[in-house]
């Protein structure tokens, strides 16, 4: 039934949920979405193609559709986009007995609400919070104003996810009301929604770093969608790869003289990519968590350069030693190991800072950082190894 | 204060929280952990080194420490490890008025509880659930047995995270009681905890695929810890890289004759790695979500092979064409493009299935899949390109 389906879709991420409903008839999707919580409705609809979302909204219950449209109009990562429209509210002048009576009458519609608080409104403006448990201890004839906590904390509808995270870090509340400029109550953001939104954003970023773009991929999706999505990322990559490898073509003469270098070029390329990608992943994560800000490039650069020096020296020594042991030529070891050491330092420093730079420029760092990084470090790695080799050519061939 | 710190630590993942407290004095950590919810306590303590966790437990409030120890004794991904000890319970024979009186008296200690339900126990055995709202509508002298929902659904303490996810997909409940073999109530698992545990597991897996091992890395961690953790993964990788690149050494003569091949070897290595890693990432995700089981190798192989054929053909054509246009030799294009096409098919098929095989063998797929994959596909890619070239040598040099 739609209710079970709604419950199942709420339990998975919204991009996954949108993949599940994409092949269902619009009427059935609308019936399922009607049963979902307003914030989950908006998440799901925002992941669907615009025309599909519009079709579903037209077939939904008008009240549900209005709430979903309102949430969709706010940015997905703002209080407006993250809030739920399911909350209890009563006008000033209500009595405790009246509130209890309303809750009894509407027990079924309120079943999905996270009822720990009810909100007291004067002409729509939030003036107090009623803790449900306080109703138990009060006389039924008391006006709600005498039981409520006055002047409740609220957040503006435009508050960002980072501001909300800071709010919930500093406060124990399970939810916070969201108000507009005149103080009217628009919805309630729950602590759990913030954590979930952050997790989904972080997971999505990590998937992009590995080349899974356009949202999560699940193997029940059609073959052409999966192949096309993956190719969109791979085809950019192959062009960038051809560009960086073309450096090798300029050094054909050196390679011809020291053919052993051909063994080490893929190693230098792969290892620099790995080292740099570790730094990219850490930065992407820290950006998603809000632990680092895009303008902290100098701090991140310092931190990463230190790691880059240590790991560059270790890896350069290992590879240089391998080259020396294989060919018995110390200079080959110096050329190969030196190129890897320097390239690791650059790769790690660049990998750490590139996501911050891209974010600062308003680009998606999760998507662009890895391809840009590997292109630059491949290019530089080949240039260093073959350039050094050209400079030391007599020693290498002697 | 400890309460604010506890709230902040509950808002981040447990591995990150353990990094934050690792430099604090034990007494302060204990004071903070005392203020955390029992399931968060257990998560945090399980991420700390055993000796640190024991020291903190000794300095904690004895009651809090007992609950935390109990949760730690269960597997982290079972109902026992995920449940909270903070729940309301009343013995059979209580009256509605008595329950309300108890809630009024203990309002402060119950402030952190997610109070939508209270549980009714007979000699510790769960016999009913009280919905808080039902208390509002009942006479104070009624016994709780007349208000409660009898025979409540419960899950066994050993239920796995996958079973719990299925449970919450099928039911609307925000929490489910956890009982032992004789039906005694041990704790309550909340819907939000399951989602969060799954998210953390999935994020951790994705970090490992990018080479961030041993838990999350945050740049406030000490340099030596960060450098060592990253090196542990990189040093395995460089050895595997040396092994696979050694294939190139066996074909020095072919390379010497067709030096242009040296340009394409890093491209084939990198592109096969990228294609395979996309498939690894999707499988790791699907395993974490429970969408795929380790024994579904044949199904995943079929799905991935189809993607591999399409993307292999496209990428092989692009690279083959580039080789042909550069050197004007059709056979060079066939050798290079053919090697990439075949290697992409193998890489994507292997990348999709390897995580399932590793999981089936009881290994951590997130850690091992990518290094094993790139070693095999590098080896095979070099072998294909240089083997084809050796076979067609007269045509390539003609």
pLDDT, tens digit, for every residue of A356-398? 999 999 888 988 999 999 999 999 999 999 999 999 998 888 6
Q: Which residue, among B259, B309, B325, would best test binding to A if mutated, counting the most A CBs under 10 Å from its CB? A: B259
Cβ(B259)–Cβ(B372) under 8 Å? no
- Taking only the tens place, the pLDDT of each residue in B125-134 is 999 998 877 7
- Taking only the tens place, the pLDDT of each residue in B35-67 is 888 888 888 888 888 888 999 999 999 989 998
- Asked if the C-beta of A365 comes within 8 angstroms of chain B's C-beta atoms, the answer is no
Cα–Cα nearest to B278, from A19, A378, A209, A222: A209
**pLDDT score recorded for residue B194:** 86
- Asked if the C-beta of B339 comes within 8 angstroms of chain A's C-beta atoms, the answer is no
Token match 């420490």: residue?
Answer: B65
The interface predicted TM-score of the complex, written ipTM, equals: 0.82
Query: Which chain A residues are Cβ-neighbours of B219 within 8 angstroms?
Result: 282, 286, 291-292, 299-300, 303
Window 270-329 of B, Cβ < 8 Å to A: 270-271, 273-275, 277-278, 280-282, 285-286, 289, 291-292, 299-300, 303, 306-307, 310-311, 314-315, 318-319, 322, 326
Look at residue B176 and tell me whether its pLDDT is greater than 70: yes
Cα–Cα nearest to B45, from B54, B37, B32: B54
Do A210 and B210 count as a contact with CB atoms less than 8 A apart? yes
Do B234 and A271 count as a contact with CB atoms less than 8 A apart? yes
The widest CA-to-CA distance across chain A, in whole angstroms, is 102
Window 32-91 of A, Cβ < 8 Å to B: none
Please name the residues in contact with A66: beta carbons below 8 A apart, sequence gap of 6 or more.
none
Token match 């994020």: residue?
Answer: B203
Cα–Cα nearest to B215, from B12, B397, B1, B392: B12
Average pLDDT over residues B243-255: 93
Start-to-end Cα distance in chain B: 79
Cβ(A24)–Cβ(A16) under 8 Å? no
Percent of chain A with pLDDT over 90: 52
- Asked if the C-beta of A226 comes within 8 angstroms of chain B's C-beta atoms, the answer is yes
Q: Which residue, among B9, B40, B100, B270, would best test binding to A if mutated, counting the most A CBs under 10 Å from its CB? A: B270
Highest mean pLDDT among A87-101, B15-29, B172-186, B380-394: B380-394
- Asked if the C-beta of B396 comes within 8 angstroms of chain A's C-beta atoms, the answer is no
User: Residue A372 belongs to what H/E stretch?
Assistant: helix A365-391
User: Which among B3, B231, B267 has CB closest to A245?
Assistant: B267
User: Closest Cα of chain A to B320: distance in Å?
Assistant: 11
Do A311 and B230 count as a contact with CB atoms less than 8 A apart? yes
Secondary structure (3-state) at A173: coil
- Taking only the tens place, the pLDDT of each residue in A282-310 is 999 888 877 888 999 999 999 999 999 99
Query: Which chain B residues are Cβ-neighbours of A227 within 8 angstroms?
Result: 306-307, 310-311
- Taking only the tens place, the pLDDT of each residue in A126-164 is 999 988 777 777 788 889 999 999 999 999 999 998 899
What's the rounded Cα separation, in Å, for the pair A255 and B37? Answer: 63
- Asked if the C-beta of A7 comes within 8 angstroms of chain B's C-beta atoms, the answer is yes
What's the rounded Cα separation, in Å, for the pair A206 and B264? Answer: 29
User: Residue A196 belongs to what H/E stretch?
Assistant: helix A191-209
Highest mean pLDDT among A25-34, A93-102, A263-272: A263-272
User: Closest Cα of chain A to B63: distance in Å?
Assistant: 22
Look at residue B263 and tell me whether its pLDDT is greater than 90: yes
Average pLDDT over residues A223-241: 90
Do B311 and A230 count as a contact with CB atoms less than 8 A apart? yes
For strands B175-179 and B155-156, give the pairing.
parallel
What's the rounded Cα separation, in Å, for the pair B223 and B303? Answer: 43
Enumerate the β-bridge partners of residue A125.
Answer: A122, A184
The half-sphere exposure of B110 on its side-chain side, counting CA atoms within 13 A, is: 22
């Amino acid at each position: 039934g739609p209710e079970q389906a709604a419950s199942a879709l709420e339990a998975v991420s919204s991009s996954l949920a949108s993949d599940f409903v994409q092949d269902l008839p619009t009427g059935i999707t609308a019936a399922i979405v009607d049963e979902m919580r307003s914030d989950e409705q908006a998440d799901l609809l925002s992941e669907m193609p615009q025309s599909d979302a519009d079709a579903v909204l037209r077939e939904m219950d008008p009240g549900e559709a209005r709430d979903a449209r309102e949430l969709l109009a706010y940015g997905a990562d703002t209080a407006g986009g993250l809030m739920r429209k399911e909350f209890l509210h009563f006008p000033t002048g209500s009595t405790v007995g009246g509130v209890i009576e309303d809750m009894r009458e509407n027990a079924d519609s309120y079943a999905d609400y996270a009822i720990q608080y009810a909100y007291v409104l004067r002409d729509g403006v939030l003036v107090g919070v009623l803790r449900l448990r306080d109703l138990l201890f009060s006389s039924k004839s008391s006006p709600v104003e005498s039981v409520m906590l006055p002047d409740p904390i609220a957040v503006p509808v435009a508050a960002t996810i980072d501001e909300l995270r800071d709010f919930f870090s500093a406060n124990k509340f399970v939810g916070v009301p969201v108000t507009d400029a005149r103080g009217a109550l628009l919805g309630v953001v729950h602590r759990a929604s913030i954590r979930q939104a952050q997790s989904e954003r972080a997971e999505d970023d990590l998937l992009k770093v590995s080349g899974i773009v356009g949202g999560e991929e699940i193997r029940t999706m059609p073959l052409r969608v999966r192949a096309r999505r993956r190719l969109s990322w791979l085809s950019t990559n192959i062009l960038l790869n051809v560009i960086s490898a073309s450096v090798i073509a300029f050094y054909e003469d050196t390679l011809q003289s020291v053919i052993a270098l051909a063994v080490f070029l893929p190693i230098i390329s792969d290892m620099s990519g790995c080292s740099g990608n570790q730094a990219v992943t850490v930065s992407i994560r820290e950006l998603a968590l809000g632990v680092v800000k895009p303008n902290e490039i100098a701090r991140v650069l310092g931190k990463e350069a230190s790691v880059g020096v240590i790991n560059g020296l270790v890896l350069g020594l290992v590879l240089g030693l391998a080259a020396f042991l294989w060919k018995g030529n110390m200079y080959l070891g110096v050329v190969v190991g030196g190129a890897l050491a320097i390239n690791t330092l650059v790769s790690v420093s660049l990998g750490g800072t590139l996501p911050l730079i891209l974010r600062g420029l308003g680009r998606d760092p999760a998507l662009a950082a890895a391809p840009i990084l590997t292109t630059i470090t491949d290019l530089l790695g080949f240039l260093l190894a073959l350039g050094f080799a050209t400079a030391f050519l007599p020693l290498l061939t002697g």
